[in-house]
Amino acid sequence: MTHLDAPTPDVGGTDLVGALLDAAHHLAGLGLSPGASGNVSIRIGDEVLVSATGTRMADLARDGLSRIDLEGRLIEGARPTKEAPLHLGFYRRSPELRCVIHLHSPSAVALSCLPPHSELSAVPPITPYFVMRVGQTPLLPYAAPGSAELGRHVERLPFPFRAALLQNHGSVCAGETVAAARDSMIELEAAAEIILKLPVGGFRPLSDEQAREVAEAHGSYWGA
Ligand SMILES: [Zn+2]
């Protein structure tokens, strides 16, 4: 059993909650969570600590986390963000994932309003770094924020991925560590910003073969 007001060590002795709060503050400091948008979570065993409703990424603290189970039932703390189902979708489909971050970062939101690059990825493989740190990033069809449908979309997509754009809404990145999810989010926002600077239809991404080669070498996903 974890306690929200105490450091939460994992098997390696890392304070996972401390790392999560640091990541939230860092991403907010980069301007990636406008207003009170954005939420973060970590999985510990069969429980998830997720931002409570009404919290802000910039000053998220230990008492701003809710402890819930994988069905979204509250165990301890304040009511969880209404976007918790999105986080739980990742944890339910991929038990190795430990952290999920959801933002309304401006360039990713802009890209989420455009047609997707392909069925597998809203974002084309513009650089090897995007492919290795983020990988294919499907566009989830629009569903109202906080609806269980968003979580179901994540859970049921029949190909591997660790990041997604939510149509006309934002971005979500997951990782086996807090650092991986945080860095993936930063790289995804950078990729979206670059794409928006390129002429529509007039740029050259990596080929699917090049992207697959990078993904295989770095443990990310590209291709079905
Ligand atoms: Zn949102």
Catalytic residue among 71, 96, 129, 209: 129
Model pLDDT for residues 149-158, shown as the tens digit of each residue: 999 999 999 9
Model pLDDT for residues 156-172, shown as the tens digit of each residue: 999 999 999 999 999 99
- The CA 174 to ligand 1 mean position distance, Å, reads 15
Residue 202 has pLDDT above 90, yes or no: no
- The CA 166 to ligand 1 mean position distance, Å, reads 8
When pLDDT is cut at 50, 70 and 90, the band that residue 119 belongs to is very high
Residue 11 has pLDDT above 50, yes or no: no
Give the helix ranges, DSSP H, for the chain: 16-29, 84-93, 106-112, 128-133, 148-156, 178-197, 208-218
Known active-site residue 221: no
What are 185's two structure tokens?
């989010």
Give the percent of the chain with pLDDT over 90.
Answer: 89
Known active-site residue 83: yes
- The CA 202 to ligand 1 mean position distance, Å, reads 31
Looking at the DSSP assignment, which residues form a beta bridge with residue 164? 172
Contact present, 170 and 102 (Cβ < 8 Å): yes
Catalytic residue among 83, 91, 187, 189: 83
* pLDDT given for residue 200 in this prediction: 82
- The CA 112 to ligand 1 mean position distance, Å, reads 12
When pLDDT is cut at 50, 70 and 90, the band that residue 2 belongs to is very low
- The CA 110 to ligand 1 mean position distance, Å, reads 14
Average pLDDT of span 137-154:
94
